[in-house]
Amino acid sequence: MTSFLDPSLSRVKSLLRPLARRVGLAKGEPVWWDKQSKPQAGSLGLGDASCNVCGWSGAEFADPFHSEMATCLQCRSIARDRFLLRCFLLRNPEPWGLRVLETSPRMGRDYRRMMRRWFEYTASDFDESNHVADIKVDLMAIGLPDDSIDVLLTPHVLEHVPDTALALREIWRILTPGGRMYLQVPLLQGVTAPPIEPEFHGDDTPVFWRFGWDLTETLRAVGFETTVLVTDEWCDSLSGVSPRPAEIGDGFAINDICDHVVVDDLVAVSTPEITRRFGFLATYQFATWECIKR
Ligand SMILES: [Zn+2]
C-alpha cells in the first residue's frame, strides 16, 4: 500500500521518523547488508560510480582509480573486490544458495553477513593473523571433504602459497563436479617467476610467485577448464585491436604482459560503461581466472 501513499503524508512520516526512532517507536535505518537488494553482476545505480557489492551509487569513489583503490563509500569495497564479484555473478546467473568458500576475504563482517544472506558462505584464512575467518585453511592441505564446495573465491592468495600445483590439486578435490574457482592474483608480468627480491604484501605475508599468463596452463594441467576474464578494453589491447596502454611505472610490465598473452584464453566481461561505473580502471589491472571442474 505504501506506493499509494499521499506524497504529503509520506513527507510527514519521514519528518517524524527520527523522533519516533529516538523514543523507540520505529526501527532504525536498515544497514546495507540487511537490505533486500542482492549483490549483482550489473549496475542499476544512477551515479557515475556504482558498487555491485552493496548497491551504493554516487558521484565518485572515495579515492583514485586503481585495482586496490576506488573505494565504495558505503561498503568499502575496492575495485578488485567488485571485479571478482562481477565475474562470479555474471558467469553464474542463478548462484543463490550455492556453497561458497572465500579465502582471506579483504572485506569484513558486514560483507560476510551480506554474503551469508545469499549463499552458504564460509570465509577462511591461513593463520587468522590478518583476517578473521570462520575456518582456517591451508590451501596445500585443505581440511574440507571432497566435493564439498560449489564456488571458491580466492583473491590474491595463491601467490602466497609455496607449492602452486599442490594447492590446485587440493582445490580440485574440494570442488564439486561442475564447481568453479574465481581466482585473482596480481598479473604484473607475462611469465611466472619467483620474486627477484623478497616481496611482501600489505599484510606482511611473503610472496612466493609472481604469476604470468602461463598460470592458465598450470590450471589446465590439474584438469580445470580455464579462461581468463578481463575488461573489454584490455582484451582489445591484448588482441592488438587497439593500442597497448602506456607503461607508467605502476608495477605492471604492460609490454611483457602483452608479449606473452594467449588471446584465445581471454573472455571480455566488462563493457566500457560498466568498467567506468564500477571503477575497473586502469583496465589492465583486472583479470580473474575462471576454472571449472569438469
Ligand atoms: Zn559498496
What pLDDT score was predicted for residue 38?
Answer: 84
Q: CA angle, 145 as apex, 143 and 149 as ends, to 5°?
A: 100
- What number is the average pLDDT over the span 138-164? 97
The stretch 48-64 carries a mean pLDDT of 95
Q: Measuring CA to CA, how many Å separate 74 from each of 3, 50, 192?
A: 26, 10, 36
Q: Tell me how far the alpha carbon of residue 197 lies from the centroid of ligand 1, in angstroms.
A: 35
Show me where the domains of the chain are located.
Answer: 11-36+45-293
Which is the CATH superfamily of the domain at 11-36+45-293?
A: Vaccinia Virus protein VP39 (3.40.50.150)
Where is mean pLDDT largest: 111-115, 125-129, 176-180, 205-209? Answer: 176-180
Cα 23 to averaged position of ligand 1 atoms, centre (Å): 31
How far is C-alpha 83 from the geometric centre of its chain's CA atoms? Answer: 5
CA of 12 to the centre of ligand 1 (A): 30
Q: Compute the distance from residue 254 Cα to the ligand 1 centre, in Å.
A: 29
Q: Give the residue among 254, 252, 268, 257 at the shortest CA–CA distance from 86.
A: 268
What number is the average pLDDT over the span 70-89? Answer: 97
Q: Record the cell numbers describing residue 286, joined without a space.
A: 583486472
d(CA 104, CA 101): 10
Compute, in angstroms, the gap from residue 208 CA to the centroid of ligand 1. Answer: 31
Q: What digits encode the pLDDT tens for the residues 222-279?
A: 999 999 999 999 999 999 999 999 999 999 999 999 999 999 999 999 999 999 999 9
Query: C-alpha grid cell for residue 227?
Result: 579462461
**Burial category of 117 from C-beta neighbours within 10 Å (exposed 0-12, middle 13-18, buried 19 and up):** middle
Q: How far, in Å, from the CA of 191 to the mean position of ligand 1?
A: 33
Query: CA angle, 195 as apex, 191 and 200 as ends, to 5°?
Result: 130
Q: Does residue 6 surpass a pLDDT of 60?
A: no
Q: What pLDDT score was predicted for residue 3?
A: 40
For 8-12, 84-88, 207-211, which range has the lowest pLDDT when averaged over its residues? 8-12
